[in-house]
C-alpha cells in the first residue's frame, strides 16, 4: 500500500529539519494575454505578496504590445501591491533612445530594479549591435538602478562554449550589474560547479539560483529542450505514468524543488528565485514548507 497524502507530507517535512526559514525569495511572472490569465496573475501576486518577496520580476517580449503590458503590470505591482517590482528589459528591437526613455519612465514611477537582458533573437541570422553588458552600462548612466542579469549554469544555447559564456557574464558584472539570476536547472551539481567557475573567473556578484517547481513534466521538458537544460533520467522516471494524476505530480514536484533548496542552502545559498508560470499554489506551498511565511 502506498503512502497516504498526509504521510507523504510528513515524510517531506522530516527532510527540512535543517532549514530555519532563513532564506530570501523572489518570484517571476509573465504578462498575460487574456482576461482570464490576467485574473490569475493578480490573484497569484496577491497570494505570494504575504511571503514578503525581495522583489518580483516581470518578463518582457520584443513586440510593442507585450512591452506595454509589462510596463503596466510592473507599475501596478509597485504602486498598488507595495512590492518591489523588477521589470525585464531587453535590447532586441529597441534603439538606445527607446531604452533610455523606458528607463527614465521607470525611474519616475519609483522603480529602481531592472533585469537587464539581451533578449531572444527574432530569427536566425538577426544582427544586433547591443548586448546585455551594453544595456547594463546604459542603465547605469541613466540612474542608480539595481541591476540583475541572467546566468546559465549549463551554458547559453548560443554560446560557443562554457568559457565564452562565462566571459560574457563577467562583462555584465564588470559593467555594473549587482547580481545574476540563473536559468532554471534540475541538476544541483551543475549550479555548484558553475558558481565555483564564477569565483575562479573573478566574478564576486551573487549568483541566485532560478528554481522551476514542476507540476507539468511535459511542459517542463519542452522548456528544457528549448533552453538546453539537462533533465536527469531519474526525474523522467519519477514523473512517468503521472499524466493523469495532478495531485501526485504536485507532491513530486514540491519534493524535488524542496530537496534542491535544502541542498543549496547547505552550500551557503540564501536567495532563491522561483519561476511561477503565473501560478501561486506550488510556489506558496514550497515557501511555506521551507519556513518562509507571512
Instruction: Tell me the backbone φ, ψ of residue 88, rounded to 5 degrees.
Output: -75, 145
Burial 216-242 (b: 16+ CB within 10 A, else e): bbeebbebbeeeebebeeebeebbeeb
Q: What's this model's pTM, rounded to 2 decimal places?
A: 0.90
CB atoms within 10 A of CB 47: 15
> How far is 166 from 169, CA to CA, in rounded Å?
5
> How far is 51 from 281, CA to CA, in rounded Å?
13
Let me know the angle formed at the C-alpha of 223 by 219 and 229, rounded to the nearest 5 degrees: 130
Is residue 28 part of the annotated active site? The answer reads yes
What is the reported pLDDT for 62?
Answer: 52
Instruction: Return the domain boundaries, the chain.
Output: 5-289
Q: Which of 28, 68, 206, 281 is catalytic?
A: 28
Q: Is residue 77 a contact partner of residue 106, using CB atoms and an 8 Å limit?
A: no
Q: Is residue 122 a contact partner of residue 92, using CB atoms and an 8 Å limit?
A: yes
Q: In sequence order, what are the residues at sequence separation of 6 or more whose Cβ sits closer than 8 angstroms to the Cβ of residue 212? A: 184, 220, 223, 257, 274, 275
| CATH for the stretch 5-289 | 3.20.20.220
What is the reported pLDDT for 3?
Answer: 42
Q: Which of 267, 115, 282, 290 is nearest to 191 (CA)?
A: 267
Q: What is the pLDDT along the chain (294 residues), one digit of tens a residue?
A: 344 445 444 544 544 455 556 899 999 999 988 889 999 999 999 999 999 999 999 998 655 556 788 888 999 999 999 999 999 999 887 899 999 999 999 999 999 999 999 987 766 666 778 999 999 999 999 999 999 999 999 999 989 999 999 999 999 999 999 999 999 999 999 999 999 999 999 999 999 999 999 999 999 999 999 999 999 999 999 999 999 999 999 999 999 999 999 999 999 999 999 999 999 999 999 999 888 988
What is the reported pLDDT for 125?
Answer: 65
Q: Which of 43, 76, 190 is nearest to 68 (CA)?
A: 76
Amino acid at each position: 500500500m502506498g503512502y497516504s497524502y498526509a504521510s507523504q507530507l510528513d515524510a517531506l517535512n522530516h527532510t527540512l529539519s535543517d532549514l530555519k526559514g532563513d532564506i530570501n525569495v523572489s518570484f517571476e511572472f509573465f504578462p498575460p494575454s487574456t482576461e482570464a490569465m490576467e485574473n490569475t496573475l493578480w490573484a497569484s501576486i496577491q497570494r505570494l505578496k504575504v511571503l514578503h518577496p525581495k522583489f518580483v520580476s516581470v518578463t518582457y517580449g520584443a513586440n510593442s504590445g507585450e512591452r506595454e503590458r509589462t510596463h503596466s503590470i510592473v507599475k501596478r505591482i509597485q504602486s498598488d501591491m507595495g512590492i518591489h517590482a523588477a521589470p525585464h528589459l531587453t535590447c532586441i528591437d529597441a534603439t538606445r533612445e527607446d531604452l533610455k526613455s523606458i528607463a527614465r519612465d521607470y525611474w519616475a514611477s519609483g522603480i529602481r530594479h531592472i533585469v537587464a537582458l539581451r533578449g531572444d533573437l527574432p530569427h536566425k541570422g538577426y544582427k544586433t549591435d547591443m548586448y546585455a553588458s551594453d544595456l547594463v552600462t546604459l542603465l547605469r548612466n541613466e540612474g542608480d538602478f539595481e541591476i540583475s542579469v541572467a546566468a546559465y549554469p549549463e551554458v547559453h544555447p548560443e554560446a560557443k562554449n562554457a568559457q565564452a559564456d562565462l566571459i560574457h557574464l563577467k562583462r555584465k558584472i564588470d559593467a555594473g550589474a549587482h547580481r545574476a539570476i540563473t536559468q532554471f536547472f534540475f541538476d544541483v551539481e551543475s549550479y555548484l560547479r558553475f558558481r565555483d567557475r564564477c569565483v575562479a573567473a573573478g566574478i564576486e556578484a551573487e549568483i541566485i539560483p532560478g528554481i522551476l517547481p514542476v507540476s507539468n513534466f511535459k511542459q517542463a521538458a519542452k522548456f528544457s529542450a528549448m533552453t538546453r537544460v539537462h533533465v536527469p533520467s531519474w526525474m523522467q522516471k519519477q514523473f512517468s505514468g503521472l499524466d493523469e494524476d495532478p495531485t501526485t505530480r504536485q507532491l513530486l514536484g514540491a519534493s524535488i524543488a524542496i530537496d534542491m533548496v535544502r541542498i543549496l542552502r547547505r552550500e551557503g545559498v540564501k536567495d532563491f528565485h522561483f519561476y511561477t508560470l503565473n501560478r501561486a499554489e506550488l510556489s506558496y506551498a514550497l515557501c511555506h514548507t521551507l519556513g518562509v511565511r507571512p
